[in-house]
Structure 1
Amino acid sequence: MRSLITMPWNTPLLFISVCICQNLYAEDTVKAIKDLPTITAEATRTGTSYLDTPASIYRIYVPKQTDNIGVNLTEVVQGIPSLQLNNRQNYAQDLQLSMRGFGARSTFGVRGIRIYVDGIPATMPDGQGQTSNIDLNSLDHVEVLTGPFSSLYGNSSGGVLLAETKEGKGKDSVTLNYGGGSHNSNHTGMILQGGAESSSQPAYVISSSYFNTDGYRDHSAADKVLNNAKLTWNLDDGSKINWITNYVKIHAADPMGLTKAQWLSNPKQVQSGVLKYNTRKDLEQTQTGITWSKPIDDHNSVYAMGYIGNRQVTQYQSIPNQVQRLIPNTNIVNKNHAGAVIDFDRTYYGADFRWTGKDLLPNTTINAGLALDAMNEDRKGYENFTRSKADTQGTDYNFGEKGNIRRNENNTLWNADPYIQASWQFLPAWRIDTGLRYSNVHYKSKDHYLSNGDNSGKTDYNHALPSAALSWKITPNLLAYTSYAKGFETPTFTEMAYNADGSAGFNFALQPSTSDNYEVGLKADNQFGIFALTGFLSQTKNDIVSAGTSNGRATFRNADKTLRQGIEASWSKKLWRDLTAQASYSYLDATFDASVPEIRKNNRLIANSIQKGSYIPGVAKNQAFASLGWRPEVGFHAGVDVRYMDKIYIDDQNTDAAPSYTITAIDVGYAYKYKDWSVNTYACVDNLFNRNYIGSVIVNESNGNYFEPADKRNWSAGLSISKQF
């Protein structure tokens, strides 16, 4: 913790003093305020309120009145300190999500962060996740957990995001909505919902939507079908069952990245190879799962969850045909190249069983459980070109078509993680929370493409993950806490898929990372609003970092030591009636804490060396957010928010950076209700002042195409109509 002492603590100490004074002054006043229902934190499984939870945890509710087109999670999840959720303007690669710097290396999808939707994992057992299956039409709230407590979720839990969809209630109703906007974007949706008349009948929410867009950049058109259904039974014995089924299908062109000069010249353009090889991605995923909870008696309850899903992906990259045929800078045929078309069919499934005991010992709560997950994947690779039938010289090709097979394997992965948590209120104002999870991940690959040798292999990763937190309730409305946990992150199958030196087979030499995570925090909830202040430190060994990205193909290596430390502050307040305000700030210093040597093969440079003290790319040092909204049940509603993002380095050597930016968004609308009818209209403008900025970066892109431009000023507007029956 010594390095944390060097941080600028004057501001936090002043903040702490102010919070204590506010609570001492406001305590009697708060007691007089009418009690509101206590909302418990779901992510920590301790059954405590947000104020009493010794962790950095945030909940964001979806506005009751629609104020955006409802396609990307960035429209809902905003203002959480140290969380970067970047829109790439690229539906082929999903959003870029990181928490306290964990996951920033990802060139597509989500790494190092656990995602759950209605209790069902949206993260594979190897730690690779996606946000594309989260249905904003039926979403109720999102809960975000950062810091040490997230290690309770096992592998790749640098943070946790829990999305919860709505449960049916009241009369049966149907809602039809339409939204349109810039770049010929269209979103059409329908929601059917209703409550249960008896315990034998389910409450239900069924949502279906279709989205299509031409995209902000050239070659960035996309269309998406998303269906989500949730049935809920509240039985007479106190048990509750949720059955969730989700389907998503996406076809998206991939515009890829630009050089800085190209971005400044024309941010909408694409590289020539993008058009030549028609880079694109097709994704189809279906999954279903059931959660069941039941109180056995006043002291014991049980919980069970089971799920199964299938995910199919075909992706065309822009790797030149000569690179697939020959070893670079030689005339030697390359038998090891895996091709430029990725094609996999993945089935995944799992279960979680948990028992909870309360007051079996005085003032204690104990959770014990077992999480099981497995994945079976058939992965193939093909050339992204075919030879013309009339070609006799071997020079006439059709590009952007699936050609000869270059990779064929079956990959399996499974884990069985036992875990236990205990919470003990050993004094009226003091509590200790502890946890232990044994995380183990087992990889196996069976090679069926043997013309370049048998590259089959297997490996096992495992680690015990202890955690502990001590909290002190200074006053009824002020909590101080400190916590520690061991973190663990394995490389994903995709990150192991390619060796940095170009050799065939999986990169089984890539090691998992471990981290020691420390946090101190202060929370207050009084007449001045809800405050939170946190200081944190994460020391990581064998951190998984980029070894270079070329033509959409990413490779990875381990860095001996990295360090992440920072400060987070947040505030929210209901100012008057339906007028609310929110503000947050985070400072994150993420650096390599030891030098990393270069990688060479046959006297050819594969990856550059990294100097100690270099800033970890893909991570912003400073972030700030502020919003003001008027959100009544009916009538006029409006909001404005301002977001600041510091510069983001593009590579490990910090040779350049995406510049810092500040953008503003506004929305207005009107909601009307008459008997069984409800109507809502909205219009919003994002990037109001038309800033030209970079939405995200492709870390260590070896061709210099680091930059993914964000949209300039853009708008959307929509209408929804509901009818109860």
Structure 2
Amino acid sequence: MPRHPTFTLRPLHAALCILLAGPAGAQTLPDVVVSANRQEQQSFDAPASIHAVGQDAIEAAGPRVNLSESLNRVPGITVLNRQNYAQDLQLSIRGSGARSPFGIRGARLIVDGIPATMPDGQGQASTISLPSAQRIEVLRGPLAQLYGNSAGGVVQVFTADGPERPELRMSVDAGPDGLSRYGLQAAGQSGAVNYVVDVSDFQTDGWRENSAAERQHLNAKLRWDASEQTRVTVVANVFDQPVSGDPVGLTRGQMEDDPRQAVANATLYHAGKDVAQRQLGLVLDHRLGADASVMARVYAGQRDLDNRLSIPLFVQTAPTASGGVVRLDRQYSGVGLRYSRRLPAGDGQVLFSLGLDHERMGEHRQGYINNLGVQGDLKRDEQDSVHSTGVYAQADWAINEDWSALAGLRANRVAFRVKDAFITGDNPDDSGTASFSATNPVLGITRHLSADTNLYANIGRGFETPTFTELAYRADGSGPNLGLGSASSTHAELGLKTRLTEQQRLDVALFNIASRNEIVVASSSGGRTVYANAGRTRRSGVEVTHSAQWTPEWRSLLALSTLKAQFAEAFTSSGGAVVAAGNRIPGILDRTLFAELAWQPRAWAGFTGALELVHRGSMVVNDLNEDRTDAVTLFNLRLGWQQTVGAWTLRETLRVDNLTDRAYVGSVIVNDGNKRYFEPAPGRQWGLGLTATYRF
């Protein structure tokens, strides 16, 4: 793979100075309502690093299939598209979760108040319906710890409300390699009932060999305003992914020879995944008076999965091996309750919240021989369950006009249980239990320097248990790795939010995260990953966001992140090699930059255009730092047109990503035992979209 010049931050300083000295006289930038502390407030006043991506940005970013399309404009979060729908996206917040070879770890996902992260800490981004999303919020920093286990950060997605005037929306997206997405949405208001029902169908042949995928999605939200004090929201989500091939990672030599190929075993064993999930949730919001409210939620769901791994047959047939086909039949549910009350305190007031979260998950895990894509003999059979309970209290104190403070405490307990039903003379009883507990405090203070400038500091403790997937395999022997421990961390953050003018806003955050007993990848091969605990790690960095509306026609956005993630002490890897203190933690980008210049000319009503710059630093591929990806700078172009014809609104979009056709690595598989670390990204890509909306 060709190497490219290294990006430095010197040009950024000059560019930032130019931006901050820009002209005034444009329209005022709107503030965004967010929920950093579980209560809605303006993002400028939230004492935390939190950014929201709105509906317009989500729609302009692509076909609305993956979070990676739109979240590159948020600092502190990295969402990498593996070009592999069998393994989902690689999502990490301030480096937390980067170890994951599939699924989401180290971050909490919440959709319309319902967790999309399981009680063990593993989430799935693929089940999120982006065509019906109104906004996506990303919370980083100590306040995220109040959301519980594995909350290195929080990603919340909010489905749009139906408009007062009912409408029917049809959408079509097309792209290279057979990509297509068809959508239909009905939304509106009828008396006290607000509704949104969205269905979509997505298909792709895949950019790489053996990476074709199909998805069908239904997302529905029904909100009933029972009275002025009571609101009931019902959320239903159905997700079906009957096809998703897994091309597996490539060695550097394979990638340089042909980045679109799949390794031989991926096609030989028909590596891939079939997934189906159904979920129903209910959220009740009730005001008890002018100063008190209660929120209650309950949800339940089922997830079925068949996963064919590319493990050689001779490895699968070993007496203690688990086979090459994983079948999961999972049921999960949860309840939540929060009471909030506002009380006078001195010259100000305190918003006090007390809450309880309880979640459970049970799954039937089976393993079978993968006989060249055909399911063979049973090799594993167990019943797994996990229960998670969290109790939290939080107080937000508006002391006076100059100061405000926040204090919170959350107590968590997560308990795992495995009941083995596959016991033979060569395969012992692997039943067992493991439990983890932690009490995590959060403290913060905000100095309101003026109506346009806030300075805040937060500190908090968090913890992260292993997920059932991370407990699934031991380095030697059969059964789960119940000896794997949880990690603990201390998060500190200093931030500044300032409105430079009515048309410009600047957010800056400095953070440091110190972790103990870090969960790391011990080995990964053929879709089977084994985990272990390392020692101490540290992560520190800077995040800068600047947004400006220069004139009614021109606006810009800049989001910069730097991240230094290292092992703070040496440890011995599973292969016997010593990982030195100071080595970079693999899978983590050391810097990212998103810059956008958008144009909406008055003379061309309905037209918008934008040029995007996306810079990504390097990632190391393993704990020993034996190889790394190259830094890369990409340019994207997007154009949009909108027309109104009677009751119809038509919108057309054109995107060209990676305009200069750069070759680069999309993501890496950390510590892969076969050195197949690399998941290449495509070159120049185009995308077309058409949306037609009829208002009744």
Do the structures match in fold with TM over 0.5?
yes
- Contact 1:411–1:443, Cα closer than 8 Å, also in 2: yes
Residue equivalent to 1:306: 298
- Contact 2:236–2:280, Cα closer than 8 Å, also in 1: yes
- SS of 1:658's equivalent in the other structure is coil
Out of 353, 359, 366, the position equivalent to 1:380 is 366
Q: CA RMSD in A?
A: 2.5
When structure 1 is superposed on structure 2, of 446-455 and 621-630 the one drifting more is: 621-630
Residue equivalent to 2:677: 706
The question of 1:245 aligning with 2:236 is answered yes
Residue equivalent to 1:270: 262
Residue equivalent to 1:90: 84
Following the alignment from structure 2 to structure 1, what is the Cα–Cα distance between the partners of residues 15 and 446?
18
Residue equivalent to 2:420: 447
1:47, distance to aligned residue in structure 2 (A): 4.0
The aligned amino acid for 2:490 is D
The question of 1:217 aligning with 2:245 is answered no
Residue equivalent to 1:4: none
Q: What does the per-residue CA deviation read over 1:589-646, in whole Å, with 9 as the maximum and x for residues that have no partner?
A: 10000111233xxxxxx45331111000001111111012235896112222111111
Cα distance 1:16–1:485, how it changes in 2: closer, same or farther (>3 A)? farther
Q: How does 1:363-402 map to 2 (within 5 A)?
A: 363-385=349-371, 399-402=372-375
Q: What does the per-residue CA deviation read over 1:318-346, in whole Å, with 9 as the maximum and x for residues that have no partner?
A: 10011122xxxxxxxx3110111110011
Residue equivalent to 1:347: 331
Cα distance 1:10–1:550, how it changes in 2: closer, same or farther (>3 A)? closer
Cα distance 1:16–1:91, how it changes in 2: closer, same or farther (>3 A)? closer
Residue equivalent to 1:513: 487
Out of 604, 628, 639, the position equivalent to 2:610 is 639
Q: How does 1:620-635 map to 2 (within 5 A)?
A: 620-630=589-599, 635=606
Residue equivalent to 1:420: 393
The aligned amino acid for 2:140 is T
Following the alignment from structure 1 to structure 2, what is the Cα–Cα distance between the partners of residues 40 and 673?
29
Q: What does the per-residue CA deviation read over 1:330-370, in whole Å, with 9 as the maximum and x for residues that have no partner?
A: xxxx3110111110011110011001101254511001010
Out of 446, 451, 456, the position equivalent to 1:471 is 446
The aligned amino acid for 1:364 is V
Residue equivalent to 2:556: 581
Residue equivalent to 2:276: 284
Q: How does 1:132-211 map to 2 (within 5 A)?
A: 132-196=126-190, 198-199=191-192, 202-211=193-202
Residue equivalent to 1:682: 653
When structure 1 is superposed on structure 2, of 47-56 and 297-306 the one drifting more is: 47-56
Following the alignment from structure 1 to structure 2, what is the Cα–Cα distance between the partners of residues 263 and 11?
32
Following the alignment from structure 2 to structure 1, what is the Cα–Cα distance between the partners of residues 595 and 311?
42
Q: How does 1:9-20 map to 2 (within 5 A)?
A: none
Following the alignment from structure 2 to structure 1, what is the Cα–Cα distance between the partners of residues 47 and 12?
18
- Equivalenced residue count is 680
TM-score by length of 1: 0.90
- Contact 1:122–1:129, Cα closer than 8 Å, also in 2: yes
1:427, distance to aligned residue in structure 2 (A): 2.9
The aligned amino acid for 1:381 is G
Cα distance 1:484–1:10, how it changes in 2: closer, same or farther (>3 A)? farther
Cα distance 1:121–1:659, how it changes in 2: closer, same or farther (>3 A)? same
- Contact 1:66–1:682, Cα closer than 8 Å, also in 2: no
The aligned amino acid for 1:627 is E
Following the alignment from structure 2 to structure 1, what is the Cα–Cα distance between the partners of residues 553 and 471?
50
- SS of 2:134's equivalent in the other structure is strand
Q: What does the per-residue CA deviation read over 1:240-266, in whole Å, with 9 as the maximum and x for residues that have no partner?
A: 221110111112011110001111111
The aligned amino acid for 2:619 is I
Residue equivalent to 2:41: 48
1:43, distance to aligned residue in structure 2 (A): 3.0
Cα distance 1:17–1:666, how it changes in 2: closer, same or farther (>3 A)? closer
Following the alignment from structure 1 to structure 2, what is the Cα–Cα distance between the partners of residues 700 and 652?
7
Cα distance 1:293–1:632, how it changes in 2: closer, same or farther (>3 A)? farther
1:63, distance to aligned residue in structure 2 (A): 0.9
Residue equivalent to 2:51: 58
Residue equivalent to 2:511: 536
The question of 1:429 aligning with 2:402 is answered yes
1:14, distance to aligned residue in structure 2 (A): 12
The aligned amino acid for 2:593 is A
- SS of 1:643's equivalent in the other structure is strand
Following the alignment from structure 1 to structure 2, what is the Cα–Cα distance between the partners of residues 17 and 225?
47
- Contact 1:46–1:365, Cα closer than 8 Å, also in 2: no
Following the alignment from structure 1 to structure 2, what is the Cα–Cα distance between the partners of residues 274 and 65?
33
Extract unaligned runs of 5+ from structure 2. 1-7
- SS of 2:279's equivalent in the other structure is strand
Cα distance 1:415–1:167, how it changes in 2: closer, same or farther (>3 A)? same
- Contact 1:671–1:680, Cα closer than 8 Å, also in 2: yes
- Contact 1:16–1:522, Cα closer than 8 Å, also in 2: no
The question of 1:410 aligning with 2:383 is answered yes
